[in-house]
Amino acid sequence: MRVAFVSVFTPEHGDTPARSRTHRVAVGLADRGHDVTWLCARWWGGDADVFEADGVTYRSLVVDPSPTAFTARVPAAVRRIGPDVVHAVNSPPTPAVAATLAGRLGGPPVLVDWWRDHPADSQRAYRLLARDADAVSTPSRTTKTRVREHGADGSAVRVLPGSVDLDLVVEAEPDDRFDAVYSRRLDRHANVETFLLALAERRGRDWDAAVVGDGPERARAESTAEDLRIDDRVTFLGDLPLDERVSVFKGTHVFAQTASWETFATELLWALACGCVGLVEYQADSSAHELVEGRDRGRLVTSPAELADAITAVGGLERRTSDPAFETYGREATLDRYVDVYRELGAT
């Protein structure tokens, strides 16, 4: 199968969850023997228009990552490549709109992978994209609802969630120092205070907890722990490599997800796959609740007090280092879903 990715930005321009998701799919397809080309802005040195890495052929349509100039070159580039399917991203939206235009003129079908709405993007362009894409994939039902609000046909929108490396989950050694853990970038959406307040309500019980992650709100979180007089029992681990985070998750009983904004709760997914009981504070701008709804090893809460009660309530559940229920979120299974959508659109 020949797949053309259309995204002016790659992780080499600056890594983001959306770009990592696109890169993971592109490399995964190439590993399976598919012919993968990524139309993008140049991120490599030299004057060559083509660069190959990890089985993916990158073709620069522009040197500087200008969405406007890039958009103008997309239709002709797609025609030259002649792919079976185009995999475009929603932000910035104009290149993907250009890809759908090529499709309407006899070109290949277009799947738009819609991570989230970016505040700087044109709402009009989003409406065009939602309407004209042959199919849209989203990481959550929450994002699917947003895409439908832009005018997409609900039957054309597939929820393709994030994924985890199940081999890493199996191979990691558990780090069993902690009973509860929070893991995320500590920014203005982190809301780690809910986790700390819940721990403070359980001050009279025996526990040790960890906060994984760094960011502009770390100092305030550490100060909050000190003010709550639990700083001797909460370890701020800072940024950890993925394999070390997985080890912590495998050895910890409870993972608390309290962030006020989360397109897809990747850290929560890793923790659940590692056997943690997932306790999620419901937030209007977060899709995290979707990962625990209806699951025995998950609870939804709405306040620090409820979170404290939930930590106590799940204390009797067995400790695990993996959860077979999340094997469907493995890298290969998730990639299969993308291939299935491509084939539904007529790619071979």
Q: How far apart are CA 196 and CA 304, in angstroms?
A: 8
Task: Evaluate if residue 101 carries a pLDDT over 90.
Answer: no
Tell me, what's the pLDDT at 106? Answer: 76
Task: Evaluate if residue 15 carries a pLDDT over 90.
Answer: yes
Tell me, what's the pLDDT at 253? Answer: 98
When pLDDT is averaged across residues 159-179 and rounded to a whole number, the result is 97
- Under 8 Å CB-to-CB from 134, ≥6 apart: which residues? 100, 103, 109, 110, 111, 156, 345
Tell me, what's the pLDDT at 104? Answer: 74
Rounded alpha-carbon distances, angstroms, from residue 12 to 15, 25, 43, 321, 347: 7, 16, 6, 34, 28
CB 169 within 8 Å of CB 330:
no
Task: Evaluate if residue 89 carries a pLDDT over 80.
Answer: yes
Rounded alpha-carbon distances, angstroms, from residue 186 to 125, 164, 176, 179, 260: 32, 22, 23, 20, 12
Task: Evaluate if residue 348 carries a pLDDT over 80.
Answer: no
Peptide bond before residue 139 is cis, with ω within 30 degrees of 0:
no
pLDDT tier for residue 347 given thresholds of 50, 70 and 90: confident
Task: Evaluate if residue 82 carries a pLDDT over 90.
Answer: yes
* Burial track 256-290 (b if 16+ CB lie within 10 A, e otherwise): bbbbebbbbbbbbbbbbbbbbbbbbbebeebbbbb
- What is the chain's mean pLDDT, rounded? 96
CB 322 within 8 Å of CB 297:
no
CB 92 within 8 Å of CB 70:
no
pLDDT tens-digit map of 125-148: 999 999 999 999 999 999 999 999
pTM of the model: 0.95
% residues pLDDT > 70 (the chain): 99
pLDDT tens-digit map of 270-294: 999 999 999 999 999 999 999 999 9
